[in-house]
Amino acid sequence: TAQNPDCNGDINGSAFVDNCSNCVGGNTGAVACIAFTPSVSIVLSNTDCDSLADLTISVSQDANEPDMDSALFTSNTGSFDITNMSAGDVIGTAVLSANNGANTFNTQLTVISVVSSSEAVVQSQDINTGLVLGSFTILNTNPGISISATPPIPDGNNVTSGNSQVLTFSNVFVNPGAGSLVFTTTIDSELGDQDVQSFPFTITCLSVDCNGDVNGSAFVDNCSNCVGGNT
């Protein structure tokens, strides 16, 4: 009789090579990888024109997806308030999760260096230990911004056990004037997959009446007095 070893070396075994080129199934104890489909969301704390806002970026992956290799986040307009940043400033927070939630880290986003009026380097530092868990370069690309993450440290495999990252840049993103603001995320896997998503926002300018009320109805009469509304 023919003896056919599988990829794990087991005679007549059922292990096989999956789409990520890993030997899985059979006696390996490993599960076949799934498609590269990271979940991404972008949130602005407000959409008021020419105002500072919190920018929150969330990325997560299901277990057995190919590992992420690089990530780039860009916008078609808007800017970071880099001119008012200095080395050592804390400009946000992040919550990082690995091993499908088994390991969670709370970090601060700290400015390490201000390269120029349009570029700064930011590190994600664990609040309890000070350990650096990632770094980012933020750029004003005129128009728009870009955030590029450094590649992860090699972990000896090309499949994740599940992870998530929620980064909030606090009160340092400057909304553009009225119009369309579009963020684009481009994330590559270690196997060459690429995921591209877009997140549109409509930026509007608030109307303030002569009494200082947003969208109020007070007006200046013929005697140059502010009347009506909440006056």
The rounded distance, in Å, linking the Cα atoms of 201 and 214 is 21
Which region among 1-5, 8-12, 58-62, 72-76 has the lowest average model confidence (pLDDT)? 1-5
The rounded distance, in Å, linking the Cα atoms of 157 and 64 is 11
Residue 25, classed as helix, strand or coil, is: coil
Look up the pTM and report it.
0.87
In the chain, the amino acid numbered 110 is T
pLDDT mean over 129-151: 94
pLDDT tens for each residue of 144-166: 999 999 877 778 899 999 999 99
Q: Going by C-beta distance under 8 Å and a sequence separation of 6 or more, which residues neighbour residue 13?
A: 5, 6, 26, 27
The confidence score (pLDDT) of residue 152 equals 74
